[in-house]
Amino acid sequence: MPTSAEAIRQARERFNSAIANKDAETIRALLAPSYHIVTGRSDQFHGQDEEAKRWAGVFESDPTAIYIRTTREITVNEAWDIAEELGNWQGSYTLAEKLVNASGVYSAKWQKTKNGNWVLQAEVFTTIAFDEGCAPPDEI
C-alpha cells in the first residue's frame, strides 16, 4: 500500500495523464465536490462539475492545450487526512492562432475521502513566465 504522499503523487500523475488524454471525467473524479481553483491568470471556478465542464470546453476549443504539474513537495497531516502539495506547472495552448507557453508555481490542498482516495479541494496557480501574447489577468 502506498504512503499518503505516494498516493497523492499517483493522483497527480493521473491528473496530468487525463489532461494529455483530454479526459474530463477522470479529472472530475480527482476533485472534491466543493473544489475551487484560481488559475494562472487569476480566473476562479468552483465545483467539481463546473471544473469538469471547463476542461471539456478547453479540450474541445483548443486541442493543442496541454498542462503538466510537477510535484516538488508534499506535506501530510495523517491525523486529519489532509495534505498540501507544492509544485511547478507548465502549459502551452493556442491563442490567436499562435502557440504560446506559460509556466509557474502552484499549491494544492488534498483530502482523503471515506473510501480512501485522495481528491483535490483547492488549487492556486501563479504564472511566473510567459510568452508574449499570453493574456494577463483582468484588472482588479
Q: Which residues contact 37 (CB under 8 A, 6 or more apart)?
A: 44, 45, 46, 51, 122, 123, 124, 125
Q: What is the pLDDT along the chain (140 residues), one digit of tens a residue?
A: 899 999 999 999 999 999 999 999 999 999 999 999 999 999 999 999 999 999 999 999 999 999 999 999 999 999 999 999 999 999 999 988 899 999 999 999 999 999 999 999 999 999 999 998 898 999 99
Cα 89 to chain centroid distance, Å, stands at: 9
Cα 58 to chain center, whole Å? 13
Give the Å distances, CA to CA, from 38 to 52, 53, 80, 97, 108.
15, 16, 24, 25, 11
Question: What's the pLDDT at 8?
Answer: 98
Q: What is the tally of structural domains in the chain? A: 1
User: Looking at this protein, which amino acid is placed at residue 47?
Assistant: G
Angle at 4 between CA 22 and CA 15, to 5 degrees: 5
The answer to whether residue 135 sits within a structural domain is no
In a domain, residue 48? The reply is yes
Count of beta carbons in the 10 Å neighbourhood of residue 114: 6
The vertex-20 CA angle with 75 and 87, nearest 5°, equals 25
Is 140 inside a domain boundary?
A: no
CATH number of the domain residue 46 falls in: 3.10.450.50
Cell triple for 75:
506535506
pLDDT of amino acid 49: 97
120 located within any domain: yes
Question: Is pTM beyond 0.85 here?
Answer: yes
Domain-embedded: residue 90: yes
pLDDT at 103: 98
> 55: domain range?
4-130
Q: Is residue 84 part of a domain?
A: yes
